[in-house]
Amino acid sequence: MKKRTALTYNLKIAAATENLEIVRDFVHKLAIKAGFEEEVAGQIELAVDEACTNVIRHAYNNNRRRKIDIRVLLDSDKIQIRISDTGKGFEPEALPKPDLKAYVQSSKRGGLGIHLMRSLMDDVEFRFNPTKKNTVTLTKYKRKKTA
């Protein structure tokens, strides 16, 4: 059976929090175009916001001269968003699911975004090659895969 060709869309943007809104609009529109319902499109948009916020704050230390690459791939069964940076990487697998009570007591705030990404998307994959290219790939299937 012939498979429909995937469509890809790219956005390259300065790593500044004021651009999060542009990223969200870009991703939201493409999620709707892919056929996701409004509620799910909102969840995808939030997951991408979290990934980009991590890049801005942690990979680039709020250096707005650095760039974030966002590539969105739409095909018949999914939307896949790859967020790339060339900053310093980190090891998300080492982050446990946040213990909120301990968080509150220590007034720490990190780690919530990664937990949200994992909760909202079907697949979240990190690949790190610090200062060369780090990527986070977020995937949402139109029909959730069964194990």
Partner 1 sequence: MSGFDISRSDKNEVSVLHLSGFLDAHTVNRFENALQDLLKEDRYKITVNLKDLDYISSAGLGVFMGFIEEIREKGGDIKISNLSPKVYKVFDLLGFPALFDICEDEQEALNKFNSAQ
Query: What is the contact surface with partner 1 in residues (CB under 8 A)?
Result: 17-18, 20-21, 24, 39, 42, 46, 49-50, 53, 56-57, 98, 100-101, 103-105, 107-109, 112-113, 115-116, 119-120
Residue 138 CB, shortest distance to partner 1, in Å, is 14
CB of 63 to partner 1, least distance (A): 15
**Between 106 and 146, whose beta carbon lies closer to partner 1?**
106
Residue 105 Cβ, how far from partner 1 at the closest point, in Å? 6
Helix (H, G, I), strand (E, B) or coil at 146: coil
Q: Provide the 3-class DSSP secondary structure of residue 125.
A: strand
CA atoms within 13 Å, Cβ hemisphere of 42: 3
Q: How far is CA 23 from CA 83, 105, 143, in A?
A: 11, 33, 24
